[in-house]
A and B are shown apart, each in its own frame.
Chain A
Amino acid sequence: MKFIRANMSDQTITEENVPNNYIGLGGRGLTSIMINNEVPPQCDPLGPDNKLIFAPGLLSGTTLVNTSRVSIGAKSPLTGGIKESNVGGTMGFSLGKLGINAIIVEGKAPQGELKFLKIDDQGKASFVQAQDYKSMRTYELVEKIHKNFGKKNSILCIGPAGEQEFKVASIQGSDTEGRPCRAAGRGGLGAVMGAKGLKALIVDQGGKNPDPVADPGTFKESSKVLTKIINEDPFSGNMLPNFGTPVLVAPVNSLGAFPSFNARKGVFDGWEKISGEAMAEIQGPRGGKMKHMGCTQCIVHCSNEYVDEDGKYITSALEYETIWAMGGMTGIDHLDTIAKLDFLCDDIGVDTMSTGVGIAVAMDSGYKSFGDRDAAIEMVEEIAKGTEFGKILGQGPVAVGKHFNNERVPAVKGQSIAAYDPRSMIGNGITYATTPMGGDHTAGNLVGAYLGQVLDPLKKEGQIETSREIQFFNAAADSVGMCLMVYASLNSPEAREVFLNVTNAKLGPELAVEDLRSLGERILKAEREFNHKAGFTKNDDRLPKFFYEEPLPPHNTVFPFSNDELDMMFDF
């Protein structure tokens, strides 16, 4: 149980036992509470006072399935508030196996200097000169790192966008095959990493010193039950392994909630060409994989490997949100193009969602036509080239809207919304408006409640309460390192009880959490406190004006909640 503090200003590394006030925290719970305690809320997110924290989940590194996520936290340059973005792949498990609860990157390297932070199989950290890797794109970067440091290393890295401190810069994580195709995309955390002068975190996968499990017997038995539940659930056991997250394209379009052409329509005309079902039909004959293990410890295999007509790798994994941002929003109904855009974003190191929405805002402003495939590819390339337009797109959709004097920017707190329109899945609008993270679906997605017929997506009843509850539970999930896709399948009270048992078997009686809800509530309170100190007010917990004024076809409805009603979200 230890923290590693790496100071980029003076190139010192210190280790410390986990202080008492952080024991029992992991993932988002640890990053958010530590940022609230240690980062000056008014600081420059790209300055030396900000901290970039990598924290595996509480259960990462254990034998429990689907727990290999790592949270990355900092003050966000995109939103100006607190940010946690988590990623799968292999890093969470590698850190957990080393018994490292957090790596806290502090200070800022002198201008122009670039370093790797390398951690060996004993958990010993050191800086490595990385000048030779300057401006390198992520696929070439990880190939060289694996060649020079060995294949059995987990990597989190930035591309040229992060080095240029663009606000849509991502941190890319290596998957089980070593490719940098898993992304902590949101909030511009790649820019924070770039500002600090850290090109990559490289962690040996051979750790053998995980934190102890307090009650191994209960942990093992409850883990078995959870594995059975996950395997038998229709979503995690059947739908995801066959289609992955792109399976959402059909239902969300069928319900008129797929924001298209920069959120002018709720059904994308060409959605049948870019659905999960279409992807399976295209990829089958080519030899692509609709079922692929992207993350350590995963039994669901919802990842995919998308290949071209010659069977050559284009990208992994092509996910629902990317299909939406690069497809529906831009009017591009061509999966091969969307796959290329996904690869480009991973390679340059930018968030596919904020980038796709930025392109859509530019197209909506008349800069290029909706559906122009070549223009979309060129626009993403311009970010890496640092052209005049690339520099605007790299700062996110709000910057693009300002440049073109277009107020139709679907973003909250500076960050784009996700693939569920708040006018026809209105509870998701509550989440976008109120989560401390900015427009973010993972903070509290209600689509399962709609398709499970618990709530009507167009009626106000129950939406605020449900958004609040899911925000609590998801904050807890992000703290234990469990994949949200799997966590969403644990939605019965019995399954949640078993999950709580596993968590407490790891922690032991002294640290045991009473319930997952209260863990989530504690995290949200810390995040809101930080944002308040950073200068956020109630006025920041609102959607853009056009969602209240512009009816969305086909239902022709607007977002129906008043400001007072939105503020009820915080009655806790």
Chain B
Amino acid sequence: MKVTVRLYGTLRKRFSGYRAEQGLEIFIPDEATARDLLDHLKIMESLGPVVAMEGRIMKPDDKIDQGADIRIFQTVHGG
């Protein structure tokens, strides 16, 4: 299935040619989870990634919806 992924923080630097307006359009297997998506994008745990869909933070085993607009940012503590 196709999903759109928008990246924030230092994650953008890992994808050359990333354009904020478009995000990344990628294909992942149906039933893929948040963890699968991070594996697919090779975003390591040590980067503190947080996956959000529809305004909610996803747990690693939560399934991604068909055609979802996904945002991935990094853990932050306060401002």
A and B: real partners?
A: yes
Task: State whether the Cβ of A254 lies closer than 8 Å to any Cβ in chain B.
Answer: yes
B71 touches A250 (CB 8 A): yes
B78 touches A484 (CB 8 A): yes
Task: State whether the Cβ of A234 lies closer than 8 Å to any Cβ in chain B.
Answer: yes
Name the A residues within 8 Å of B79 (CB-CB). Answer: 245-246, 248, 319-321, 419, 441, 447
A488 touches B55 (CB 8 A): no
A250 touches B57 (CB 8 A): no
B47 touches A234 (CB 8 A): yes
Task: State whether the Cβ of A448 lies closer than 8 Å to any Cβ in chain B.
Answer: yes
* Chain B positions 51 through 76: 1 when the CB is less than 8 Å from some CB of chain A, otherwise 0: 01001110100000000000101111
Task: State whether the Cβ of A239 lies closer than 8 Å to any Cβ in chain B.
Answer: yes
Report how far A441 CA is from B76 CA in the complex, Å.
14
- Min Cβ gap B33→A in Å is 14
Task: State whether the Cβ of A247 lies closer than 8 Å to any Cβ in chain B.
Answer: yes
Report how far A250 CA is from B46 CA in the complex, Å.
20
Name the B residues within 8 Å of A445 (CB-CB). Answer: 77-78
Give the number of chain B interface residues (Cβ < 8 Å): 22
Name the A residues within 8 Å of B76 (CB-CB). Answer: 235, 239, 247-248, 251, 447-448, 451
- Min Cβ gap B62→A in Å is 11
- CB contacts under 8 Å to A, within B3-20, are 8-10, 12, 20
Name the A residues within 8 Å of B47 (CB-CB). Answer: 234
Name the A residues within 8 Å of B57 (CB-CB). Answer: 255, 450-451, 453, 456-457
A234 touches B77 (CB 8 A): no
Please classify the interface of chain B as helix (H, G, I), strand (E, B), loop, or mixed, using the class held by over half of its residues. mixed
Report how far A445 CA is from B9 CA in the complex, Å.
20
Task: State whether the Cβ of A238 lies closer than 8 Å to any Cβ in chain B.
Answer: yes
> How many pairs, one residue from A and one from B, have CB atoms within 8 Å of each other in the complex?
94
When A235-B48, A250-B71, A277-B20 are in contact, do A453 and B78 touch as well, CB less than 8 Å?
Answer: no
How many chain A residues sit at the interface, stated as a range, is 35 or more
Name the A residues within 8 Å of B56 (CB-CB). Answer: 255
Task: State whether the Cβ of B28 lies closer than 8 Å to any Cβ in chain A.
Answer: no
Closest to B73 in A: A251
Task: State whether the Cβ of B24 lies closer than 8 Å to any Cβ in chain A.
Answer: no
- Min Cβ gap B66→A in Å is 20
* Central interface residue in B12, B46, B48, B73, by most chain A CB within 10 Å: B73
Task: State whether the Cβ of A390 lies closer than 8 Å to any Cβ in chain B.
Answer: no
Name the B residues within 8 Å of A277 (CB-CB). Answer: 8-9, 12, 20
* Central interface residue in B8, B9, B56, B76, by most chain A CB within 10 Å: B76
Name the A residues within 8 Å of B46 (CB-CB). Answer: 234
- CB contacts under 8 Å to B, within A240-280, are 242-243, 245-248, 250-251, 254-256, 267, 272, 275-277
A451 touches B12 (CB 8 A): no
B77 touches A489 (CB 8 A): yes
Task: State whether the Cβ of B38 lies closer than 8 Å to any Cβ in chain A.
Answer: no
Report how far A441 CA is from B8 CA in the complex, Å.
23
- Min Cβ gap A328→B in Å is 13
- CB contacts under 8 Å to B, within A378-421, are 419
* Central interface residue in A239, A267, A488, A554, by most chain B CB within 10 Å: A239
| 14 sampled A-B residue pairs with Cβ under 8 A | A235-B48, A235-B76, A239-B9, A239-B76, A245-B79, A248-B76, A248-B78, A248-B79, A251-B73, A255-B52, A275-B8, A277-B8, A448-B78, A451-B77
| 6 A-B pairs with the lowest CB-CB distances in the bound complex, closest first | A320-B79, A488-B77, A245-B79, A448-B77, A445-B78, A250-B8
